[in-house]
Amino acid sequence: MSPEARSRTAVIAKTLTFTGAYAFGVVLFHQLYLASRVTSRELSAAISIAVVQCATILAMLTFSFVAKLIRQLRTSRAARAEPQIRELLALHAAGTDIRGRILLMNRSGRAALEECLVEFLHMVRGSGRDALSELADDLGFVECWRKQFRSRNVTRRKSTIARLALLSRRYARKTLQDALTDDDESVRLHAARAILKYCEPGEAEKVFDVAIHGTFVTRMILTEDLRPHVLELAAEAIPSALESGDTAFTLAALEMMRAWGKFLPVRGVYPLLRHAEPSLRAAALHVIPQVAQSSGLHFEILRALEDPSEEVRSAAAHAAAAMDIRDAVPALARQLHNDGPKTAWVAGRALAELGAEGRQILERETITGSPAVASVALEALERIQISRTRTVTP
């Protein structure tokens, strides 16, 4: 059952439980008290409903008042204790072993101690973080947070992951890794980002797996977080995704490679240039300039310029310009007259970047070409001129 379905089921169950208890209270009050005192059944039922409703409202107000009063008392007590707790935690993080005094504070104000400890874990690094992590384990907070992660409440699980992520990795490794397979994607995302903050060998590959299996938003966020680990991913994780045979996962991996914009020694991109799926052929062409070049690659680019898919032709034009393939100029010139406006626009930009021959073709098209082609050629020439001006401006 999905998390959304479980949430709806829980709401329905609570509603039915409350309704049943309310009806039971009305019937019970009517049978045990009013039935023998009020001759009219209709009047007895009406009075029962009114009395039970008033009693329910009074009980809810009383509960709310008591709960608020307890929270205020706890907040007031914590406010008085927090300065001393912060002082003790600062001394402990600095290397002074004062566990005995902190244990005494734990007995009198555990909630305040927990909040102050989390606050300090946000601020300290290195040996101070290790000392406070060990203290959190000794005080039982770590085990408590691990148990909270097993909650059905998504918000509580996310909050728990955020706290465990502050600890030294040896105290939170297993729970964070378990969170990567959580039913809720937001929990997986929180765990993945927490792992990448203090990433250990092999963990980036697990986060990469979460990214390619996740939604576009998850992938977009994790793509940037994974940027420092791309060389590690290029060894095994990315090639495995490209060779998985699953179109969605392969496309996600190629999109992430393109977003990184780095040279990556990745095998497995070239076979995708002849994949049956046009979107994969196009995605592979977009990342071809970022991988190691091989003989025969220029032929593949020229072949892709004649592909039936406009998406593939546009990607091939991008690749030809990025790799400075001068042999592509005739094919790009033909693409200017293509029925697909996107292909024509990309071909124009590619010609503008491929030296004097390409620009001469564009200049000729501004005079002799159709209005649509002339417009594309003129825009491409203006773009390359603006780009050159920005380059030479001091």
In the chain, the domains with their CATH numbers are 293-394 (1.25.10.10)
Q: pLDDT, tens digit, for every residue of 45-99?
A: 788 888 888 888 888 888 888 888 777 766 666 566 677 788 888 888 888 877 7
The encoded tokens of residue 164 equal 């465990």
The encoded tokens of residue 186 equal 């937001």
Output 114-122 pairs: Cβ under 8 A, ≥24 positions apart: 114/141, 115/78, 115/82, 116/82, 116/85, 116/86, 116/89, 117/89, 117/141, 118/163, 118/166, 119/86, 120/86, 120/89, 120/90, 120/93, 121/163, 121/166, 121/167, 122/166
**How far is residue 304's CA from residue 390's CA, in Å, rounded to a whole number?**
32
- pLDDT score recorded for residue 332: 82
Distances (CA, A) of 375 to 201, 367, 371, 382, 386: 53, 10, 6, 11, 17
Of 234, 249, 244, 345, the closest CA to residue 291 belongs to: 234
Q: What is the DSSP string of 75-139?
A: HHHHHHHHHHHHHHHHHHHTT---HHHHHHHHHH-HHHHHHHHHHHHHH--HHHHHHHHHHHHHT
C-alpha count within 13 angstroms, C-beta hemisphere, residue 304: 35
Distances (CA, A) of 196 to 98, 117, 201, 327, 367: 32, 22, 11, 44, 56
Of 263, 264, 268, 301, the closest CA to residue 285 belongs to: 301
**How far is residue 349's CA from residue 312's CA, in Å, rounded to a whole number?**
16
**How far is residue 254's CA from residue 260's CA, in Å, rounded to a whole number?**
10
pTM: 0.71
The DSSP code for 289 is G
- pLDDT score recorded for residue 291: 85
- pLDDT score recorded for residue 56: 84
- pLDDT score recorded for residue 7: 67
The DSSP code for 140 is T
Cα end-to-end span (Å), the chain: 62
Which residue ranges in the chain fall short of pLDDT 70? 1-7, 73-81, 105, 107-108, 339-340, 387-394
